[in-house]
Chains A and B, each alone.
Chain A
Amino acid sequence: GAVVSQHPSRVICKSGTSVKIECRSLDFQATTMFWYRQFPKQSLMLMATSNEGSKATYEQGVEKDKFLINHASLTLSTLTVTSAHPEDSSFYICSANRDSHTDTQYFGPGTRLTVL
C-alpha cells in the first residue's frame, strides 16, 4: 500500500506555456501532499505543502503565482507551472502523508519538466 503516482512522467513545453502535473495517492487518502523540486545532483527542496480543501503553504522564495497548487480531493493534488521558462526546467516530485499516519511521506516517481 501507500502508492503515489504522478502524471506525466516527462513533459517538454515551449517557453511561456503552462504545464500541469498531477499527483495521486492510489490506495490511501492523503490529507497532506507535498511538492518538491530537485535540481541535478542536488537534494530535494520543499516547494509547498497542500492540505485538502485549503490553500497551499509555500516555502520562502517560491512564487505562489507561478507554481499554482490545487488539492481538490483526498487523492489528488496538482501543480501548475504557469508561463514556464527554461529556468523552471527541473524534476518535480510530490509526496503524501497517509490520513492516519502522518509521520511518513510516500513519494511519487517524479516529473521531468523541460522548458525550451
Chain B
Amino acid sequence: AQSVTQPDIHITVSEGASLELRCNYSYGATPYLFWYVQSPGQGLQLLLKYFSGDTLVQGIKGFEAEFKRSQSSFNLRKPSVHWSDAAEYFCAVGALEANNLFFGTGTRLTVIP
C-alpha cells in the first residue's frame, strides 16, 4: 500500500539555522516525489520534485531534497532558514501512470528570531 510518513509534526528552528524535514514513503511502483509548502490561507506551492536522475534535487527558495532509495526517504533541507519559511510542509508521492498523489500529514515549521 502507498503511504507517506512525516515523523515530525512540528519543528522549531532559529532563524539562520539549518533545517531538515524528514519524509519516508512506501510505494509499489517507481515513485515520483514532491515537496509542497502551504502558508496560512494559501494554496500548496511546489518546492521541488524528483522523477529520475540526480538524486539531489534543487528547488525554489533555497531548498533541496535528496532521494535515497535504500532508505525510502526524500528529506528536505535548507542550510539557513529565514523567518518567511515558517509554514506547513507536505511530502507527497505519486507515479506518472497514476494521477493520484499521496500526501504525508505535514510538518509545521516555526522559525524563531
1/0 contact string of A27-48 vs chain B (CB within 8 Å): 0000010100000011111100
Q: Are A43 and B104 in contact (CB under 8 A)?
A: yes
Give the interface centre of A43, A104, A106 by most chain B CB atoms within 10 Å.
Answer: A43
On chain B, the residues within 8 Å of A110 by CB distance are: 43
Q: Are A43 and B99 in contact (CB under 8 A)?
A: no
Count residues of B near A (Cβ-Cβ below 8 Å). 22
Contact status of A107 and B45, CB under 8 A, knowing A43-B90, A43-B105, A44-B90: yes
A4, B43: Cα distance in complex, Å? 9
A49, B94: Cα distance in complex, Å? 14
Minimum CB–CB distance for B81 against chain A, Å: 22
Say whether chain A's binding surface is mostly helix, strand, loop, or mixed: strand
Minimum CB–CB distance for A46 against chain B, Å: 6
Residues of B89-113 contacting chain A, CB below 8 A? 90, 96, 99-101, 103-106
A77 interface contact, C-beta 8 A:
no
Contact status of A46 and B100, CB under 8 A, knowing A106-B46, A107-B36, A107-B43: yes
B28 interface contact, C-beta 8 A:
no
Q: Are A103 and B51 in contact (CB under 8 A)?
A: yes
Residues of A participating in the B interface, judged by any CB pair closer than 8 Å: 4, 6, 9, 32, 34, 41-46, 49, 93, 95, 97, 102-110
Residues of B participating in the A interface, judged by any CB pair closer than 8 Å: 4, 9, 32, 34, 36, 41-46, 49, 51, 90, 96, 99-101, 103-106
Task: Rank and list the top 8 A-B pairs by shortest CB-CB distance, nearest first.
Answer: A109-B43, A107-B44, A43-B103, A107-B43, A43-B105, A44-B103, A108-B43, A49-B99
Known: A4-B43, A49-B100, A109-B42. 17 other contacts (CB 8 A): A41-B105, A43-B103, A44-B44, A44-B103, A45-B103, A46-B100, A49-B99, A93-B43, A102-B96, A103-B49, A103-B51, A104-B46, A105-B101, A107-B36, A107-B43, A108-B43, A110-B43
